[in-house]
Chains A and B, each alone.
Chain A
Amino acid sequence: MSISNPSKSATSVLLEVHALTKKFGDFAANKGVNLVLEAGKIHALLGENGAGKSTLVKMIYGALQPTSGRIVWQGKELHIDNPAAARELGIGMVFQHFSLFEALTVAENISLALPAQLRNKDLNHRIASLSKDYGLPLNPDALVADLSVGERQRIEIVRCLLQEPRLLIMDEPTAVLTPQEAEALFATLNRLTNEGCAVLYISHRLEEVKQLCHDATILRHGEVVAQLDPQQETAATLAQHMVGTSVHQISRQSADNIGDVLLELQNLNQYSDTPFGVDLLGINLQVRSGEIVSIAGIAGNGQGELFAAISGETVNADRDAVTIQTMPCGQLGINARRQLQSAFVPEERNGHAAVGEFSLTENILLSHHAVRDGEVAVQNGWSGINRAELARINQHVSDTYDVRSASVDAEAGSLSGGNLQKFVVGRELDRKPKVLVINQPTWGVDAGAAALIRQVLIDLSRQGSAILVISQDLDEIFELSDRIAVISRGQLSAAYGASDMTREEIGLLMSGAHEKANLIQDQTGGI
């Protein structure tokens, strides 16, 4: 396949967006945004979470309708009524949270996104040949549920390529890739631009934007604050444009007070009880007082399962699988483990770490109702709730961790992502835990909140607590960690000193360099 666009001149403007505004009720997600995309160029769209990037691309892709403003495609003003209309024009999009259907096959998934004239009998054949041509191998008959995250992204890309796109929108495509997979993706994108395609590239990884993109537009609070050439900037200046002020630098002394092992996993095996889950196999890890150990890995490799197994949300058959403060507690529930002065922060803020419909005060109770070390020491389900005490803790958390909400006792669901995360982290840290396990500490929060959270984690560890961070964000991992381990397909590598690790080495581990084939064998034999 080739994308025939012989008229590839230096300034072939493909798409112009003029004064685009989108309001949700009274809130303006985009205010008077202007954007020009040229054929053959990769244009970066930068901004913090909530800056309006997704809203803008959804309008270009027809998934949202603008409140006012104009969209001009190849010199003609038009309305893009829905994504199907966008695809007819030659606009393709690869979503950050994939728009895939797990129980359908690769071919069915692709067919769902294709215009009528492209769905025909030899679709499977074309998928196979195109994916091979671009070095993105795919089996059209495989069920999506059985594929890795990287393979799933390939489906999204191939599905766009089949339509011979003029414009490809990519929303945080490398967030789910190993560094090696990301390089392969860049090669594909460069090939596409050479063929005359335009790419609108959303990312918060400034280094890769500098490496890849020709132009950049930066959004803040729904408005364009800068349009520039990323090659001429540094990552720091780009960040400054995004955040508006200079970014708070995290201070981190070296960990010189490493003490006893406070959290230990010993040959932890945990089999998933759902067909789409990941089994944890033979996991060993020690976290000592005074250090931060991070677990890197691509999403969906058993991070959620590992968190549940360590926290006690899922109970293990083997009491020695998990040891907290010298106490074997594999068979104990989460509250019994909390009583060993440990605390846990799950990945999902709303619905797991907090109940969105409940007030902040009530959300304090969620993890404080059965802890001896906490102030609300309640052992029995039938005893009363000390509301005054909860309100006091809430006030303290909100003051100490700068939780901003409409009122001090607002519904948790009404807080912004960053503020809710500060609340959740603060709630656990308020108990001064000796062991803290935190899954994706700054996922989807603004730079200010992320810096605050990372700083308090470092401070806690330097005061002698053992901290285990599970994260997909390599920047975050290098910023925080003393030692790094990598999880892939439910197996954990050894933990190496952070200063000895490179991104490339982590990338190799992410793609399973440490996996033991015999464990996988055991797993399939066990079913």
Chain B
Amino acid sequence: MQLILEKRAQASHFMHFASPLLAISLTVLLGGVIFSAMGQPPLTALYIYFVDPLTSLWAIEEVLVKAAPLVLIGVGLSITFRANVWNIGAEGQLTAGAILGAIIPIFFAQWQSPLALITMLALGMLGGAMLAAIPALLKTRFGVNEILTSLMLVYVAQLLLDWIIRGPWKDPHGYNFPKSVAFDGWHLIPTYGDGRVHMGLIIALLAALILYWLMTRTIKGFEVRVIGSAPRAGAFAGFSQTKMVWFCFLLSGALAGLAGIIEVAGPIGQLQPHISPNYGFTAIIVAFLGRLNPIGVIFAGLLLAISYIGGEGVQIELGISDKTAQVFQGMLLFFILMCDTLIHYRVRLLKPQGGAL
């Protein structure tokens, strides 16, 4: 028996939407198998993992808090990947945004006004875009592979954060803990009521809607899709590959930087060595699960946020390593790529040759 692919005449619209659902089902199924292999009751564990995060107000709030950066970074990446540009250093751009944005609360603590917050957000975007500009420059100027350079810069940005927070930016009254001063007043993102959900969620949703409009209604969005699908057709249409690389890196870098400053000015409230549980990498999964479509990214961001909370849930209630979240996320990306084959191909089992003639 042999598995063979048959190309469909046209891409299947049904599979386009069914594929993520199929991937989620497969992940849940295999997740159950893994739980039982770890000696856990699979159904209970799956319930704790996927359903519990939606049953209490506290947990739903946490899901939304985690979804905000995932959606924000994910929409940027969805467009970048669409254009066949591979920025996989969003985690570093997030860090750079957090560092640059934190200049205001750390060095201008007295400047308390809404404008201060807006400046922080703008600086965050600038920081992310600046770091993302490096792979863009190297790609367009020297033809250096952007995957490797953007990834290498993640380590550099994280080490930079580590250094400033243990050195020059350390809170002088912080008992030598590697932390900056705590942000306060207009240096924090406003939250809804007393809860943890903050303005960042609105910003993320807004970004998704704007980019959805861009992709479906404007020539710019058309340009992204043409260059991603057929670069030579892009040249024929007069679109510049070089400008597209810059556009994608600056856009996705700025959004990742924005997510970074929102994290430190929101749920965390100060600069510290670890500011993100790999949001920048998980957002890659979000982008693919969301069909590289900004609206799809919103739903995918929510699902991946659940996977974080669910991971914490099984750790607390069943005592399993919180690494389960990362495993589930990896499986999800794996299955979504697998199911996407069905959009363009029919899969058939071929019986061994012999009776054929």
Contact = CB atoms under 8 A, between A and B. Distances in A.
A357 B11 contact: yes
Contacts of A351: 230, 232-233
Which of A67, A357, A367 counts the most B-chain CB atoms under 10 A from its CB?
A357
Contacts of B218: 381-385
B108 interface: no
Interface in A343-400: 344, 346, 348, 351-358, 362, 365-367, 369-370, 378, 380-385
A79 B357 CA distance: 8
Interface residues of B, number: 23
Contacts of B229: 355-358
Contacts of A139: none
Contact of A354 (B6, B11, B233): B233
B217 A385 contact: yes
Interface residues of A, number: 47
B37 interface: no
Contacts of B220: 381-382
Contacts of A367: 236-237
- B219, B229, B232: most-surrounded residue (chain A CB, <10 A): B219
A283 interface: no
B217 A370 contact: no
Contacts of A308: 235
B1 interface: no
Nearest to B219: A381
A212 to B, nearest CB: 33
A354 B230 CA distance: 8
A333 interface: yes
B236 A353 contact: yes
A354 B237 CA distance: 10
Nearest to A81: B353
Nearest to B232: A352
Contacts of B353: 65, 81
A413 B230 CA distance: 12
Interface string B234-250: 01111000000000000
Interface in A416-442: none
Given A69-B357, A81-B353, A366-B226, A383 B219 contact: yes
B238 A370 contact: yes
A366 B219 contact: no
B341 to A, nearest CB: 15
A334 B238 contact: yes
Contacts of A154: none
Contacts of A66: 356-357
A414 B8 CA distance: 9
Nearest to A333: B238
B356 A67 contact: yes
Contacts of B357: 65-66, 68-70, 79
Contact of A355 (B10, B11, B230, B238): B230
B320 to A, nearest CB: 43
Contact of A366 (B9, B11, B233, B356): B233
B222 interface: yes
Contacts of B235: 308, 313, 334
Contacts of A370: 238
B217 A352 contact: no
Contact of A352 (B9, B223, B230, B238): B230
Contacts of B233: 351-355, 366
Interface in B9-24: 9-11
Nearest to A68: B357
Contacts of A70: 357
Contact of A385 (B222, B230, B232, B356): B222
Given A65-B353, A68-B356, A334-B238, 12 more contacts: A65-B357, A308-B235, A355-B226, A355-B230, A356-B230, A357-B229, A365-B237, A367-B236, A385-B219, A385-B222, A411-B10, A414-B9
12 contacts: A68-B356, A81-B353, A334-B237, A338-B238, A351-B230, A352-B230, A352-B232, A354-B233, A362-B222, A370-B238, A406-B10, A413-B10
